[in-house]
Amino acid sequence: MAASRQPPSCHVEFGGAVAAREPPEAAPEGLEAVFPRDVGLFADAFPEETRYGFCGHVLTIAQHHGARLGVAAPVWEAALTLCKYFEKQKLNFWGKKVIELGAGTGIVGILATLLGGDVTITDLPLALEQIQENVHRNVPAEHLARARVCALSWGLDHKEFLRDYDFILGADIVYLKDTFPLLIRTLRHLCGPHSTIYLSSKMRQEHSTAVFYEALLPLHFTSELAYRDENENINIYRVTSKQNS
């Protein structure tokens, strides 16, 4: 994220008792599809806080459910699965440059910050206030400089960001077919020869998630299934540049 801006941050939940809502079956074309604005879809507007425990940290995450944020509001199960994976693998982010895409609540990026990373947490402008709130709730003041919140529209302003991050993270960001080429373009810019990408996804057949991982991603990257949760139908992929192959 080259010339990075510095919007808001995020907040977490313990034990993950959030009732995740599925992304809409059909969505309008373009980037606005990422945040459906159909009032009937998320008519029950209400704030919620949940506490989660990972890697010795307790995170309190705010989620502002409603038509304004749509699918950006909740903590999705794929994000929790990725956080659990970090814990199980004892991943070390100390001194590493990290970026999270499509952060929503920011829970993944916040955990990476608490684990020592220099993290840029990104999403469309609409979600930044919620992310900023969660960052300030969970990241100690002395470490706030390591958690930056920035707007990033895939395929449009990705060139404003640095290249060659150590880690690129994304949880449940592969569900709108129209955005697949934009996401690929963004990953190609951000990923250098020494970068590692972790993508955690609910494998929804109706959203062609498998097509992204099996047909599109391998055209540009080397990808392997790092973990699968059969019960939740969630896959975590470890992805690297083909320059490493």
Q: Residues 174-187: pLDDT tens digits?
A: 999 999 999 999 99
User: Which of the pair, 11 or 105, is modelled with greater confidence?
Assistant: 105
CA dihedral in degrees (172, 173, 175, 178; nearest 10)?
180
Burial level of 44, CB count in 10 A (0-12/13-18/19+)?
exposed
Q: In the prediction, which pLDDT does 40 show?
A: 43
Instruction: Please name the residue that has the structure tokens 């941050």.
Output: 9
Helix or strand (DSSP H, E) at 188: helix 180-190
Residue type, 229: D
Q: How far apart are CA 36 and CA 32, in angstroms?
A: 7
Q: In the prediction, which pLDDT does 41 show?
A: 38
Span 49-99, pLDDT tens digits: 999 999 999 999 988 887 777 777 689 999 999 999 999 999 989 999 999
Going 86 to 87 to 93 to 99, the CA torsion angle's sign is positive
Check pLDDT > 60 for residue 211.
yes
Global pTM value? 0.81
CA-to-CA dists, residue 125 to 7, 30, 32, 42, angstroms: 9, 15, 11, 19
Q: In the prediction, which pLDDT does 18 show?
A: 34
Q: How far apart are CA 28 and CA 220, in angstroms?
A: 27
CA-to-CA dists, residue 199 to 18, 39, 81, angstroms: 21, 30, 11
Tell me the pLDDT band of 162, cut-offs 50, 70 and 90: confident
Average of per-residue pLDDT across 6-16: 33
The token pair at 212 is 């992204």
Helix pair 107-114, 77-89: axis angle to 10 deg: 20
Tell me the pLDDT band of 47, cut-offs 50, 70 and 90: confident
Distance of CA 65 to the CA centre of its chain: 17
Average of per-residue pLDDT across 165-179: 96
Closest CA to 197 of 227, 241, 157: 241
The token pair at 169 is 């993270």
Contact of 202 with 77, CB cutoff 8 Å: yes
